[in-house]
A and B are shown apart, each in its own frame.
Chain A
Amino acid sequence: MAAPSGEDKRLILLVDDSATLRMSVRSVLGPAGYELLEAADGQEGLEALAELERQGRSPAMIISDVNMPRLDGIAFIQRVKQTPFKFLPILVLTTESEPERKLAGKQAGASGWLVKPFQPQTLLAVVKKFTRSLD
């Protein structure tokens, strides 16, 4: 399976079961020019990636919650690492901060860990760094 070539520098996959959280992330990243593809749990996240793959597109990064129904964040990351999207940076955005959880996230392949509630400018800085779209 070839890695999808059409990486969209402005496209971000956001996986979180809270509509409020998704809205608040969108209100930060939207005005900064990012396009968000939203999924309500890990399973939906994987489906969204599969759809992108069919279209030959790729997001620039993934933002994922940990605690979600059906497929949780850690398992979701592990599954992403088995897809052609395995090189995408993944930011975990969660209320959890226990070292064990962080370790699990890191081992699953997360690239960053941001604790909710977040400061808008912090999220923006991290996203810019991860998408290498620092202007």
Chain B
Amino acid sequence: MDPQLLEIFAEEAREIIDALEEGLLSLEDRPDPETINTVFRAAHTMKGNAGIVGFDDVMELTHLMEGVLDQMRQGAREPKGPVMGLLLRATDQLKGMVEARLAGGPAAPPDELLRELAPLVAPEESQAPAQEPPASPAPGQASPAAPPQRRRVHLKIRLPGDLFTTGTDPLQLLLELEELGELERVVCHMEDLPPFSRLDPFNLHLWWELWLLTSHPLSTLDNVFIFVRDEAEISMSEGAPPPPAATVSPSPLARREPAPPARGSLPKRPPRPLATPAPTIRVDTDKLVNLVGEMVIGLARVSESIGENTDPDLQSAMESMGQISREMQQQVMRVRMVPVEGTFNRFRRMVRDLAAELGKDIRLELSGLKTELDKNVAEQMADPLKHLVRNAAGHGLETPAERRAANKPAEGTIWLRAFQQEGRIFLEVTDDGRGIDSRQVRAKAEALGLLPPDAHLSQEETYQLLFHPGFTTVREVTELSGRGVGLDVVRENIESLRGSVEVESVPGQGTTFRLRLPLTLAIIDGMNVKVAGEVFVLPMLAIVESLRPTPGQLKTVEGKGELIKLRENYLPLVRLSRLFGLEGGVEDPAEGLVMIIGSLGKSFGLLVDDILGEQQAVIKSLEQNYRKVPGISGATILGDGRVGLILDIPGLEKMALAAGGR
């Protein structure tokens, strides 16, 4: 941020806050429209300025203040009584927030105030469209005799390609439409989107179809587009119902993840329910998934037996079957997706009880509630999350007295967040407590004999010690690091779902446990590799690249085992054949292939004999059918009917680490 801009902002903010305070006090004595206007404008300018410097929390508070003051300006609310006290408190809070932000720290979120202010403004914001005042019709148009009824308007919106150069944001326009009623459906058309290589990011290639339930006249809807009207193609028709959901392609707007609000955007209203709820159908999705799995296996076998047959008809029929099967899988998987909301909401009560039990003030913040994950994953995550939240409340957060002594608000906060990224689901449990003291973790690990005294560990590796089963045998680690109770169980749970756990912590500021989970449990995209005549399946997501090493790239280091040089870095080289005790495979790495595997920011090379190709692997549990095998996360049926074992990346890494030192 430009320091000069901040300086001006600071100076102006102080002036505005003084004006607000003075205006509010004088209003209590003598309500006069000019003062109301001045005070309103002060809040308005403050909101705009906060937006410019990116102080979103300040913006949120001033937005609500502005809303209340606007009601006074319109004569809908009298400037007296408790609301004036509330506005004065908000002004004090504002002062504190601005100073805190200017000092570089985070502002104390004024949640209680927001909760008190929001309902005052809310009725206006979430007003049922039927009660909205009819917008003033454009001059020259006959004024409707009665307020128009709410009805459905179907809009097709094609905006000029160079829209961005006129300062118009298409999303802004769609959001403005949403203000005028209830968006029943949004379809984003991407047919015109050029291939990536020819994509001009400065041009708009999308167009939209919307179904809006509104009581506003078409002229008001039209006014949203007033500054692009001349070059845009916008058609509006009344009455046509949207097509059934199944035929509608998912649109980026309609399916947007509930990301944190973009800089400057106003607080989001809760999404409104669809106008007509679809009837519920109960389906046994586990069975459906199994059937789809069997179909995938069947197809792989057909494909295998067709083999090199070059009959073009057969090949193209096979190809289209493959596509249909893939699409079907996706649809079935989507049916199984549930929002994380249900899982998260259970924690409200738990945290409340924990706070009472522990004598701490704890606030729980949930975000990403609409993030979807496989229902089985959601179910299996409940316990690990419970563990982590209990840990955060019990050990992460300090007592109110300790917090005050550390210059922190007495109330501690625990955040539960969910989001989707890079084909994975992330769940985070964060607290703003004391953080993990890595020196103490280390000392304890050494005392327990888990670690040689001179071992060199990164921060992340030190935190991983917390998950060591040995660590948890010590039941009272509270005075040590405040962590360690049952974390090994948490990690085991996560890894059984092919996920992983990361820890981040800043002493005095708090700790985050981040769980990464696969989107789905049943089918993965796999790469089949051959080692000593056996076929193994590597999850595609884990593979960074593959290469045939030259002798110069290989090196053996005493105590570290074999390394492979990849560009500037040496990575550990793991021989699958040795790990699993297989004989008859490639011995000289230069004759085989090295798959570079990326996991948790650490990479290693995996030596295999050959790559056989990609295949979708339907995961069958080994534990249920046989027993748990280290380094293997499951089995699958290969195209030729044989069983292939699916490699477990975190497991392999652990095995390699254990073997590497020798």
Contact = CB atoms under 8 A, between A and B. Distances in A.
Contact of B226 (A27, A95, A106, A117): A106
A18 B179 contact: no
Given A113-B227, A114-B167, A100 B264 contact: no
B354 to A, nearest CB: 39
Interface in A1-48: 17-21, 23-24, 27
A128 B51 CA distance: 24
A99 B227 contact: no
Interface stretch (B216-224, B449-457, B612-620, B632-640): B216-224
Interface string B202-227: 00000000000000000011011011
A100 B226 contact: no
Contacts of A17: 41, 45
B415 interface: no
B11 A117 contact: no
A99 B264 contact: no
Given A112-B166, A114-B167, A18 B45 contact: yes
A90 B12 CA distance: 26
Contact of A21 (B52, B180, B221): B52
B73 to A, nearest CB: 11
B223 A24 contact: no
A21 B220 contact: no
A116 B44 CA distance: 12
Nearest to A65: B48
Nearest to A91: B167
Interface in B35-77: 37-38, 41, 44-45, 47-49, 51-54
A99 B51 contact: no
B223 A117 contact: no
A97 interface: yes
A20 B41 contact: no
Interface in B219-252: 220-221, 223-224, 226-227
Interface string B1-37: 0101100110111000000000000000000000001
Given A20-B8, A117-B51, A117-B264, A99 B224 contact: yes
A100 B223 contact: yes
Interface string A97-115: 1111011001100111111
Nearest to B34: A69
B172 A95 contact: no
A91 B48 CA distance: 17
A122 interface: yes
B136 to A, nearest CB: 6
B172 A115 contact: yes
Interface in A31-83: 67-69
Contact of B179 (A23, A91, A98): A98
B5 A20 contact: yes
A99 B223 contact: yes
Contact of A97 (B2, B138, B176, B220): B176
Interface string A117-129: 1100011011011
B580 interface: no
B263 interface: yes
Interface residues of A, number: 36
B335 interface: no
A95 B44 CA distance: 9
B135 interface: yes
B164 A23 contact: no
Contacts of A110: 227
A71 to B, nearest CB: 13
Chain B interface, DSSP helix/strand/loop, else mixed: helix
Given A27-B5, A112-B227, A116-B264, A20 B165 contact: no
Contacts of B13: 20
Name the residue in A17, A95, A118, A122 with the highest tally of chain B Cβ atoms < 10 Å from its Cβ.
A95
Given A20-B5, A69-B38, A126-B167, A99 B12 contact: no
A31 to B, nearest CB: 11
**Most chain-B CB neighbours within 10 Å: which of A23, A100, A122, A126?**
A23
A107 B12 CA distance: 32
A125 B176 contact: no
A129 B13 CA distance: 33
A64 B136 CA distance: 24
A125 B138 contact: no
A115 B166 contact: no
Nearest to A17: B45
Contacts of B9: 20, 23
Contacts of A126: 165-167
B169 A100 contact: no
A111 to B, nearest CB: 8
A122 B224 contact: no
Contacts of B224: 99, 102
B48 A102 contact: no
B47 A95 contact: yes
Contacts of B227: 102, 106, 110-113
A4 B390 CA distance: 73
Nearest to B263: A117
Nearest to A118: B167
A97 B48 CA distance: 13
A103 B166 CA distance: 17
Contacts of A99: 135, 176, 180, 220-221, 223-224, 226
B132 to A, nearest CB: 12
A117 B5 CA distance: 14
Contact of B167 (A20, A21, A117, A122): A122
Contacts of B264: 116-117
B272 to A, nearest CB: 19
Contacts of B165: 125-126, 128-129
A69 B41 contact: yes
B44 A67 contact: yes
Given A99-B135, A100-B135, A21 B223 contact: no
Given A99-B224, A102-B227, A113-B227, A67 B41 contact: yes
B53 A20 contact: yes
A113 to B, nearest CB: 5
Given A24-B52, A91-B167, A19 B41 contact: no
Nearest to A128: B165
Contacts of B4: 23, 27
A125 B223 CA distance: 23
B48 A23 contact: no
23 contacts: A17-B45, A18-B12, A18-B45, A19-B8, A20-B48, A21-B52, A24-B52, A27-B5, A95-B47, A99-B135, A99-B180, A100-B220, A102-B224, A106-B223, A106-B226, A106-B227, A112-B166, A114-B167, A115-B169, A117-B48, A118-B167, A122-B167, A125-B166
Given A18-B45, A116-B48, 18 more contacts: A18-B12, A20-B5, A20-B13, A20-B52, A21-B49, A23-B4, A27-B5, A91-B167, A97-B172, A99-B221, A99-B223, A99-B226, A100-B135, A100-B223, A106-B227, A112-B166, A113-B167, A116-B52
The 9 A-B pairs at the shortest CB distance, nearest first, are namely A99-B223, A117-B51, A114-B167, A126-B167, A117-B264, A20-B49, A103-B223, A125-B165, A20-B9
Interface of A: 17-21, 23-24, 27, 67-69, 91, 95, 97-100, 102-103, 106-107, 110-118, 122-123, 125-126, 128-129
